[in-house]
């Protein structure tokens, strides 16, 4: 994602979302494996994460066990308006 695109998405309400995905190994279903996913998404619905999980269910063999999600707002419009620019000579 380009820097300017990330800032514009954040101003539209996107936040950095992190999900820990536990899934079962296809050949050893008693063993859980962990996968960490991170992208910009919109809470509380997380449509980007849901799209990824739908892809997982459609295309990958490891059945999902559980998903934990955490989101962090990085910037807001008010925070950008309050930024100061300094010039050093």
pLDDT digits (tens, 9 = 90+) for 28-63: 999 999 999 999 899 889 999 999 999 999 999 999
Average pLDDT value for the chain: 82
**SS3 for 16?**
strand
How many CB atoms are closer than 10 A to CB 56? 18
Verdict on whether the full-model pTM lies above 0.95: no
Would residue 87 count as lying in a domain?
Answer: no
Domain contains 45 = yes
> Is 85 contained in some domain?
no
Domain limits for position 30: 3-79
- Is the CB of residue 34 less than 8 Å from the CB of residue 22? yes
Chain centre to alpha carbon of residue 30: 27
pLDDT at 72: 74
- pLDDT-derived band at 71 (thresholds 50, 70, 90) equals confident
In a domain, 43, yes or no: yes
- Continuous segment of H or E residues that includes residue 3: helix 3-11
């Amino acid at each position: 994602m380009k820097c300017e695109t990330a800032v514009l998405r954040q101003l539209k309400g996107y936040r950095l979302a992190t999900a820990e995905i536990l899934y079962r190994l296809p050949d050893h279903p008693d063993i859980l494996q962990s996968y960490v996913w991170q992208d910009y998404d919109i809470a509380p619905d997380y449509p980007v994460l849901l799209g990824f999980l739908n892809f997982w269910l459609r295309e990958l063999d490891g059945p999902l066990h559980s998903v934990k999600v955490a989101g962090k707002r990085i910037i807001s419009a008010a925070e950008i308006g309050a930024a100061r620019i300094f010039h050093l000579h």
